[in-house]
Amino acid sequence: MKEYTLKYGCNPNQSPAYIRMADGGDLPFAVLNGRPGYINYLDALNAWQLVKALKKATGLAAAASFKHVSPAGAAVGLPLSETLKKIYFVEDIEGLDESPLACAYARARGADRLCSFGDFIALSDVCDVPTAQMIAREVSDGVIAPGYQEEALAILKQKRKGGYAVLQMDPEYEPKHEENRDVYGITLTQGYNDGIIDESLLGHVVTKKQTLPEGAKRDLLLAMITLKYTQSNSVCFVKDGQVIGNGAGQQSRVHCVRLAGDKADLWHLRQHPKALSLPFAADIRRPERDNAVDAFLSPDAETLLQDGRWEHLFTHKPDFLTRQEREDWQKQLQGVALGSDAFFPFSDNIDRANLSGVAYIAQPGGSVRDADVIQACDNYGMVMALTNVRLFHH
């Protein structure tokens, strides 16, 4: 196919709109179902690059959940604990344990379920039935993958009353070296960002503590690859093969760290026994359940869920977390990896990262205050590698 006509561009008043190759050649993907929109394609093509790079870097099945041209979550296909299955609401997915791809998407979607609402999904491998079953019951705009099992495709085609967007990407496609963008009728040209992210970038460790365990290396690669396709400025927190907090598109780097750290903290709090035992009403829908969990875990939970506001969510009033319980649980979040798409200008970034259990950091370096940042890492016993590679994405 050489061209698809779109309903409109970013907004309904932006017509005409279409997608095609600049050289008039065939597009490297096929639309198997639905009618993707302009923003869907931006999400799909960015997300596909992420999972393709992640699969190449780790050898593991990978998945990403994209919203508005940044990943809400990304992960590799490591097995899920019973606790993670519960907080991701996937305990009942048949065949989940035998599908690394389904585990990857459960992790990618579960990292930040509120931001993943209405996502576009990318899968590194052929979509199987457990993955399709999971996607089928979430609020999502579409999926891109290198292929689909017949039964999986049939499941996806039933979603959104038959209008769910399903794209099949040519896994062998490679873009031309130059890419163009038109802004206000003016064309900008740059070289395609084909920089390779692998373990060679983690060799320059500058802190007193030098050892990067294998799991930390994998997580730092995941963080950096995620950042490569995240709107800048951006900082990414990763633990055990999945993004647990992505701070995207902030003008100040410390705001990126705060945003990502807050998301990581919330991800960890979702695993608290009181959150796991919430007495949900039988008829509560999945998105409402996500909102209810976040309201329950808010520091203002007792105000948000005061009498009269919780009855339709729970069978009885929940047992709220005390401040001390919250603080004690938070201390258990450890071993987190952090990637930054550019250097840290001040050590306050490290101070905030420490509050969310960060132990390993990869960042380009090059700030006039690198020594202050390194000293802060040493004060907290962190390991930091300077990659000398900036990962801005706009």
Q: Are both 23 and 87 inside the same structural domain?
A: yes
**Distances from the Cα of 167 to the Cαs of 31, 41, 139, 147, 290, in angstroms?**
5, 10, 17, 9, 28
Distance, in Å, from the CA atom of 248 to the CA atom of 353, rounded to the nearest integer, reads: 15
Residue 392 belongs to some domain of the structure:
no
Do 238 and 163 reside in the same domain of the chain?
no
Side-chain-side CA neighbours of 307 within 13 Å: the count stands at 0
Reduced to 3 states (helix: H, G, I; strand: E, B; else coil), residue 144 is strand
Q: Are residues 48 and 124 in the same domain?
A: yes
- Residues 110 and 38 both lie in one domain: yes
Tell me, yes or no, whether 223 lies in a domain.
yes
List the domain range (segments joined by +) for residue 294.
273-320
Do the domain assignments include residue 361? yes
What is the domain-level CATH number for residue 24? 3.40.140.20
Query: Are 195 and 341 part of one and the same domain?
Result: yes
Read off the pTM: 0.95
Q: Are residues 157 and 292 in the same domain?
A: no
Indicate if 123 and 53 belong to the same structural domain.
yes
pLDDT tens by residue, 178-237: 999 999 999 999 999 999 999 999 999 999 999 999 999 999 999 999 999 999 999 999
Alpha helices in 229-347 (DSSP H): 253-269, 273-276, 286-297, 301-304, 323-330
Number of domains in the chain: 3
Tell me the catalytic residues: 67-68, 233, 394
Whether residue 308 has pLDDT greater than 90? no
Looking at the fold, whether 192 and 162 belong to one and the same domain comes out as no
Would residue 394 count as lying in a domain?
A: no
| 29-88 tens-digit pLDDT | 999 999 999 999 999 999 999 999 999 999 999 999 999 999 999 999 999 999 999 999
Last residue of a domain, one of 174, 195, 224: 174
150, part of any domain:
yes
- Asked whether residue 156 is domain-assigned, the answer is yes
Indicate if 59 and 167 belong to the same structural domain.
yes
Run of H or E including 47: helix 38-58
Q: Which of 150, 174, 198 is the last residue of a domain?
A: 174
Same domain, 286 and 184: no
Q: How many whole angstroms separate alpha carbon 275 and alpha carbon 292?
A: 10
Domain contains 229: yes
Residue 342 lies in a domain: yes
Query: What's the mean pLDDT when you consider all of the chain?
Result: 94
